[in-house]
Structure 1
């Protein structure tokens, strides 16, 4: 196949890792193309919370964080062997990446978000950073509408964009939350100019803010982006160097030369059931993932494996509890709803199918998912587990996609949801029978939780007894913000699946983001970042933003490595000629 076009760098995937690799490569003076198989750009990152976990970032009082304290914390939380050089490269390069991105004009805020293992040595509550609200119209009216839109769960009434402050005000129904909602709605409808273009809120928040602000810089540097362009295979020369790729667009195939490097940043494999079955100890189902439907199928990983690339940590996912509901107005289709914080609220408990607890329900969502896996391997009675709650919980909090009664009163719950997606009864015993759980075990578990709520101490799992748990509890529930008696009828239950934010394992890479073969040698010209690459953290999720932080950092690292390779390739022929002349 003849080469159709030539670039210095071709990036596969338009999420955070790909955007950063393209931006940094362009600033090195390289000609860059991003190819994206979807109809919209921004990847899973644009639909996310948009937080980055960056140790020692130096923003807003973080100046006393250090490299050593970050490594101390990571060493205390990682439970499997990892590439030490790659881990240290992350700790060293992440602050440099952030400083570089700030130098391009992207703004950041430090979030007071506790690390997910707050009792471990070296833990802090200021390593997570995010981008403030971004005006999406700055991308241009055409591109504004083409960035992947956030899920309904990140918007009020599925329409109005929420930043994290607004999200927490509405989530907790804190004082003045109705005023917050009114301002959001009014601001949206008063923006008549944007309403003529699209239903989408011009306010890009959370992951959309991060990607919008980054892509403003990417486009300003003349980087080309091609949508509906899918990687078919990687191209190599006789020396085993990756020299380009073959892509397809609506069935038309053509090849692209990448003179100095290909960066695989196309996400993980969570939507590929065959790969889940191959790698995961408890595979779970693709449809329980909370990433864009059928988006990340591992094609880039498969293409690299065909060249001899190796993988690591593929038994791990970025787990998050999810639940399923029919899509309103289209009941034959379903939506996946995250339940990351719902499972740890007061007036509720989570049990396996034996009717007993298996985890501190308020722990980090990845820890919750890992506990589901462990419990299922031990008992065979998890996946799904069950969130059981009472009328007090129902009035105030969401349960996955079931919104509180102030938003969705009982009369507005669709008839086909009851006793199929959401179960309800006047007694705990009848509820247990409805969901086929052992009545005695469930009743004992609820009685225990009521006693723990009275004392404020959970002797089984320590729920509500660390800073991370309490951040998402309810201060109105005393003496423990994560515990409350489950004693007010009616009682409810929803099944909770082990969903994910993507796969944690992927292509094995070195500290320069180069893809490694089975012998540990770098495959020349091939780089990977984001969920296409294995996490530097192995089996752990150290804090909010631990997916996007490494994605952008190793996109940055890959671009620097490619720029160095490009310089060497440009100068090597002159050296060779000089030697030949001698």
Structure 2
């Protein structure tokens, strides 16, 4: 529903934001007989969730159990306590682990949301007790967007990097099979292409696949489920401040069509509006330096910290404001936001170096830890790790993707946009020449490549252990021996691409309790105010336990908030 002043201005629940967590909370509130309104600042719904992988990390889920997988509350709690350490709150962790399996089971039973277990996707910290080599991350199934009708026009479009060839929908399970070059990967691509090509009627309407995948599938299926319940979603409705009476939050003031409007919430307001990564002033105030909003892979103009500032104005406590869901990014001219580099760093034959030409991290490490290492090395190297540089050779270029560059066997250099040379990628016949182009120490780079080439021969990365655990190997090339994440760099031309210290959202925000209620500095709940997702301080502390560690808690605490508001904790 496009923004226009409606006659109804009072609801039981008002949800600010339209990402996966926000829409999940609205859905469960509506299912308990509450009247719900969703207000969204942008002209599109879905937020960062719509351009994400859409995965959710749900320990002890029924999908895994149905396939014979072994998991338990106790095992997951052991893992999370080890991962979160001093930043973990056991009460909130227990609330998450108790409710997450119930949340996804209820969604599958009562909505159009459909998931499948990614059996091979490992938890990120394989060295910690309680970790599993797969089964806790769930991957959205494809969703037919024609079911949205006109509402499809208002869905935030997926990033080109999440679609095969920029237009064909595929699941994370499909992508893994192709990226790791497992048996049958070529046939899989052929099948996806044929399915897309034969959908003649839809392709006359749109170049983008009829089927949504990943985060787009999740958001589209949630929106269709809300349409089934006649839950209104107002776009172009900018939250400005909270309304209160005698210390209780009673509604919100919004701006819509150039006018201010007061909306009243009889039972509660749920913030699900994202973090503050698009607010440069707040970034400079809280995040490690250097920091730029242009490095963030989230939608520009959104996630500016309005919920954080409104909560703080009421005396809300905060936590983890100096952390983000870090992910290295590559800027592409003409695109409104950079692209996150998630899987490609594990492919054999690419290394990442600082300005001294030295490696400083296991390239295949989880993305949060990767950028954290960039900042730590930046301090010890005198500012030489922001940016960092990914280096690869002609063999890698032919066989593998990196950021916006598809493998050269599909998209050779001659087919790349001319503006990308010396902006997206740099190219030279020798490592020394390449180092000169990007301002990296040439001797350091030559020495590093020689060392890594020896690691590739032996299969053992003595410095950082790349490829030494099941998570690293998840996106490695299963055909490369002895280590699927290591290959020599020895075939020119050589390539470089710039990696910035990016993010997929901030991690800190309003502190909440086990019911998703925002709490004040003295630990007491602020009546009528709830926060979920990136506008709240993450239950995961400074850790990122597995794929879907952002959306899983956002949706789960949305479920918890709806139940608490309805008097059904």
Say whether the fold is shared (TM-score over 0.5). Answer: yes
Match of 2:367 in 1: 365
**C-alpha distance in 2 between matches for 1:246 and 1:198:** 37
Residue 14 of structure 1 pairs with residue 13 of structure 2? no
Q: Tell me, yes or no, if structure 1 residue 93 matches structure 2 residue 93.
A: no
- Structure 1 segments unaligned to the other structure (5+ residues): 328-332, 568-582
Match in the other structure for 1:550? 553
1:64 aligns with 2:67: no
Aligned counterpart for 1:265 among listed residues 260, 268, 272: 272
CA spacing shift, 1:160–1:463, aligned 2, 3 Å: same
What is the deviation of 1:64? 2.9
Q: Aligned partners of 1:78, 1:199: CA distance in 2, in Å?
A: 43
Deviation at 1:80, TM superposition (A): 3.5
Give the alignment partner of residue 41 of structure 2, picking from 37, 44, 64: 37
Among 35, 46, 67, which residue is 2:50 paired with? 46
CA shift, 1:8, in A, is 0.3
From 284, 309, 317, give the equivalent of 1:277: 284
Give the secondary-structure state (helix, strand or coil) at the position aligned to 2:128.
coil
Partner of 2:140: 131
In 2, distance between residues paired with 1:199 and 1:229? Answer: 30
> Of 510, 514, 517, which aligns to 1:511?
514
- Aligned partner of 2:258 among 228, 251, 262: 251
Native 8 Å contact 2:328 2:371 kept in 1: yes
User: What TM-score do you get using the length of structure 1 for normalisation?
Assistant: 0.92
Structure 2: unaligned runs, 5 residues or longer: 1-6
Partner residue of 2:377 out of 375, 378, 391 = 375
Aligned equivalent of 1:576: none
Q: Deviations over 1:369-392 (max 9, x none)?
A: 111121112222111111011111
| Distance in 2, Cα, partners of 1:127 & 1:302 | 34
Task: Out of 108-117 and 541-550, give the one that drifted further.
Answer: 108-117
What CA distance in whole angstroms lies between the structure 2 residues aligned with 1:179 and 1:254? 55
Question: Does residue 344 of structure 1 match 2:346?
Answer: yes
Contact 1:37/1:229, CA 8 A, preserved across alignment: yes
For 1:525 and 1:474, the matched residues in 2 are separated by: 51
| CA displacement, residues 222-264 of structure 1 (integer Å, 9 cap, x when unaligned) | 2111111110111011x11100011111212111000010000
Please show how residues 372-411 of structure 1 align to structure 2 within 5 Å. 372-379=374-381, 380-411=383-414
Q: Aligned equivalents of 2:269 and 2:158: distance in 1?
A: 28
SS of 2:64's partner is coil
After superposition, residues 452-463 of structure 1 pair within 5 angstroms as 452-463=455-466
Asked if the contact 2:362–2:464 (Cα under 8 Å) also holds between the matched residues in 1, the reply is yes
Tell me how far 1:196 sits from its aligned partner: 4.8
User: How far apart, in 2, do the equivalents of 1:435 and 1:81 lie?
Assistant: 39
- Partner Cα distance (1:295, 1:283) in 2: 21
Q: Could you tell me which residue of structure 2 aligns to residue 477 of structure 1?
A: 480
Secondary structure in structure 2 of the residue aligned to 1:34:
strand
Deviation at 1:179, TM superposition (A): 4.3
Per the TM alignment, residue 520 of structure 1 is displaced from its structure 2 partner at its CA by 1.6
CA distance in structure 1 between the aligned counterparts of 2:488 and 2:284, rounded to whole angstroms: 40
What CA RMSD, in Å, does the superposition of the two structures yield over aligned residues?
1.9
More moved, 55-64 vs 71-80: 55-64
Moved more, 192-201 or 44-53: 192-201
Change (3 A) 1:417 1:208: closer
Deviation (angstroms), 1:4: 6.5
* Deviation for aligned residue 1:342: 1.6
**Distance in 2 of aligned mates of 1:277 and 1:80:** 25
1:1-48 per-residue CA deviation (whole Å, 9 max, x = no partner) reads: xx9611000000111111111011011110000001111112211211
Cα pair distance change 1:231/1:334, threshold 3 Å? closer
Cα gap change, 1:471 to 1:378, in 2 (>3 Å): same
**Whole-Å Cα distance in 1 between the matches of residues 203 and 159 of structure 2?**
19
Q: Does the alignment pair 1:414 with 2:426? A: no
Question: 8 Å contact 2:323–2:508 — kept in the other structure?
Answer: yes
Cα separation, partners in 2 of 1:458 and 1:91, compared to 1, 3 Å: same
How many Å apart are 1:416 and its aligned residue? Answer: 2.8
Equivalence for 1:572: none
Partner of 2:562: 559
Of 323, 333, 343, the match for 1:316: 323
**Equivalent position of 2:89 in the other structure:** 83
Q: Which has the larger radius of gyration?
A: 1
> Which whole-Å CA distance do the structure 2 matches of 1:283 and 1:241 have between them?
39
Structure 2 distance, partners of 1:228, 1:185, is 36
For residues 230 and 335 of structure 1, do their structure 2 counterparts lie closer, same or farther at Cα, with a shift above 3 Å needed? closer
Offset of 1:537 from its aligned partner?
0.8
Instruction: Give yes or no for contact 1:425–1:492 (8 Å, CA) kept in 2.
Output: yes
Q: Contact 2:87 / 2:542 at 8 angstroms: preserved in 1?
A: no
Write the distance in 1 (CA, Å) between the matches of 2:159 and 2:206: 16
Q: What SS does structure 2 have at the residue aligned with 1:60?
A: helix
Equivalent residue for 2:3? none
Contact 1:172 1:397 (8 Å CA) reproduced = no
**Any residues of structure 2 matched to 1:95-174 within 5 Å, and which?**
95-105=101-111, 106-112=113-119, 113-124=121-132, 125-139=134-148, 141-172=149-180
1:431 equivalent to 2:434? Answer yes
Deviations along 1:488-542, one digit per CA (max 9) or x if unpaired, are 1111111111111111111110110001112222111000001111110110000
Cα distance in 2 for residues equivalent to 1:364 and 1:197:
38
Q: Which moved more, 1:314-323 or 1:458-467?
A: 314-323
Q: CA deviation at 1:167?
A: 2.2
